[in-house]
Structure 1
């Protein structure tokens, strides 16, 4: 008798080897497996097929198990102490008025300078007095929020290579969402499977819902992220932080990134590079990364051997 298991050709290859045994009539045998998996995702496990053969090898019967079992390995959540988000945005009406007049709107607060603040909002007299850049916050400024776009397009690599890339993509995404929500920054988490999904979360108490969705998510090759991004940036009235998580960079996506940055979004690309896995660089990708800062956007590059925390906290 030969028993073949699901997972023998996946990330569990060395843990699900085919078993050959002899079994008397009406007897039974139990196998126990301790599985180890360091990559998140949904995996098929259990018995795939059983081949029964007589002692002389004349008769052979094969029973194929129609439905495998499955397990979900949940991603790690990396606790970030900081991330490069813009803290406030000027509303559309205020932006128009402010192009002619610097001090339109009621003064709400004065605080220290943070990355992304406009020089038009600097309180120059107080800055000179304190010897530290101070910012005026007006009531017409909208609160910080973030649109998080996750690219679920599968790469044309091996199963194991794709698993490693997708795991880092999921973990970096969920870690940034965790940072946002625990900093009380509202998030719109957007991705495409068989339809566009847009999950809104405003507080840390809503993090678990997004976390559960990410753990069950499946990658496919059915949709380009640039098509989703094009819809959102052209129909969004409010400009905010736009966070793009991808392992696929091309010029269609680059054009959308350019348009988003030009339109007033604080655009950040988190790119998972397969270079260490496949042993080569892609000239088009390198050119795109080189030009992203030139168009007013920012990017993080994560190689598969990198630690997520120090890279995203830069």
Structure 2
């Protein structure tokens, strides 16, 4: 992250330097013109104008030189950037050829890689020369640190004349599309409840009170929603009693991905997207290895609810391409929580529900408590950036304290590699 920020700062500094150079060049030309005109003013003859005439001829010759050069350069991109894994570097090569007997005194090729949002993330510039009829392969390395589909390669080539007064830019309209795949990590351990349904059914005391839609009651546990308290029965028993609702879940795992985040810079948002996807896929892989039924659930980039069960994930990049880009959650944003609540309350949903999110709110913890009350086993994967300061981090994670009291499992992670089992080959 720091390296990328430094790269962007350098690029901006280079732009400022180029602007300063152009201003200084204009000032120099004006001063040179004034100096050249002085002999003509004092001599008042044709010979006094010779310096001006020579200077103009040199400028014209340099401009003509540039016109020949821009028709004499050819380039060919040799790299095949199609698929790679996040965090790997790929070599990219451009073959430059001078087809004329003239010298390219200054060539400036620019290479780039886009970010998840389509903007240029990293721009690399180099200055080289080309001798007459010379061919040269220019290589640079591109590191892809984030999951997704990107464009990368040669952005443009800038050619300069002999005097450095003029330039011509050749824009490269061909983009390489690069698909960056996620990493899968071994999950060291996961508190999956294989017998949650059986145990909870033993705890139910069948009763019908007030004709409400619940299957029984039990003693109130800290963290249970207040609205589920059975007030009449609590008054008679002199202890708080809470309603228990029927559950038709199956022993399996639903993994819900939340692509809404608090407001961060672009680099942090892209890292959060990586964490959500890789944690979700790593947990799914864990479920597969342990023989659990599992499914990935999320709202697609078109706003549709998508659910992929085991065996239906055939093309990983197609799956990621269907996922929405990470976006900043607006005040009152509830789409992911609605998805969590809907999945948890579904009649035949899985008994274990994992929720991967960077948007930690009190409302989210309330939804997890509701699921716990419905005899589900909610598991929270809370993504918190490393860049968050200690005080800010404590305040951000404050809503999670109630989950401890309710014995709801949660993991606080900055990336999927912290799942504890190491990268899976």
Post-superposition CA distance 1:7-31 (Å, at most 9, x none): 2889984xx6212223468765432
Post-superposition CA distance 1:59-107 (Å, at most 9, x none): 333344445323223222122353111114549xx95995339xxxxxx
Q: 2:309 aligns with which of 191, 198, 201?
A: 201
2:334 corresponds in structure 1 to 226
- More relative contact order in 1 or in 2 (CA 8 Å, sep 6+)? 1
1:78 to 2:185 alignment: yes
After TM superposition, the structure 1 stretch with the greater mean CA deviation from structure 2, 209-218 or 169-178, is: 209-218
Partners of 1:175 and 1:221 in 2: CA distance: 22
Local SS of the residue matching 2:189: coil
CA RMSD of aligned residues (A): 3.8
Query: Equivalent residues in 2 for 1:14-29 (5 A)?
Result: 17-23=124-130, 29=136
Q: 1:238 aligns with which of 340, 348, 358?
A: 348
Query: Equivalent residues in 2 for 1:1-314 (5 A)?
Result: 1-7=107-113, 13=122, 17-23=124-130, 29-37=136-144, 39-66=146-173, 68-80=175-187, 82-88=189-195, 90=197, 98-100=204-206, 143-192=250-299, 193-202=301-310, 205-206=311-312, 208-209=314-315, 213-214=319-320, 217=323, 219-221=325-327, 226-234=334-342, 236-239=346-349, 240-274=351-385, 276-280=386-390, 281-304=392-415, 307-309=418-420
C-alpha contact (below 8 Å) 1:45/1:68 kept by paired residues: yes
C-alpha contact (below 8 Å) 1:250/1:284 kept by paired residues: no
Please report how far the alpha carbon of residue 185 of structure 1 lies from its aligned counterpart in structure 2 after TM superposition.
Answer: 1.6
C-alpha contact (below 8 Å) 2:254/2:354 kept by paired residues: yes
Local SS of the residue matching 1:46: strand
Partners of 1:144 and 1:164 in 2: CA distance: 32
- Return the TM-score normalized by structure 1: 0.68
C-alpha contact (below 8 Å) 1:174/1:214 kept by paired residues: no
C-alpha contact (below 8 Å) 2:357/2:381 kept by paired residues: yes
Partners of 1:228 and 1:307 in 2: CA distance: 24
C-alpha contact (below 8 Å) 1:44/1:68 kept by paired residues: yes
Query: Taking structure 1 as reference, are residues 71 and 56 closer, same or farther at Cα in structure 2, changes over 3 Å only?
Result: same
Structure 1: segments with no counterpart, 5+ residues = 102-139
Please report how far the alpha carbon of residue 219 of structure 1 lies from its aligned counterpart in structure 2 after TM superposition.
Answer: 2.5
Question: Considering only CA atoms, is the larger Rg found in Structure 1 or Structure 2?
Answer: 2
Q: Aligned residues, how many?
A: 266
Post-superposition CA distance 1:221-277 (Å, at most 9, x none): 176773233245245113521111112212332332232223332111101111x22
- Return the TM-score normalized by structure 2: 0.52
Partners of 2:372 and 2:317 in 1: CA distance: 28
Partners of 1:216 and 1:56 in 2: CA distance: 52
After TM superposition, the structure 1 stretch with the greater mean CA deviation from structure 2, 284-293 or 158-167, is: 158-167
Structure 2: segments with no counterpart, 5+ residues = 1-106, 208-246
Partners of 1:305 and 1:148 in 2: CA distance: 14
Partners of 2:312 and 2:114 in 1: CA distance: 37
C-alpha contact (below 8 Å) 2:313/2:319 kept by paired residues: no
C-alpha contact (below 8 Å) 2:270/2:326 kept by paired residues: no
Partners of 2:188 and 2:248 in 1: CA distance: 25
Partners of 1:211 and 1:287 in 2: CA distance: 36
Local SS of the residue matching 1:194: coil
Larger fraction in helix: 2
Local SS of the residue matching 1:22: strand
C-alpha contact (below 8 Å) 2:148/2:179 kept by paired residues: yes
Partners of 2:141 and 2:419 in 1: CA distance: 28
Larger fraction in strand: 2
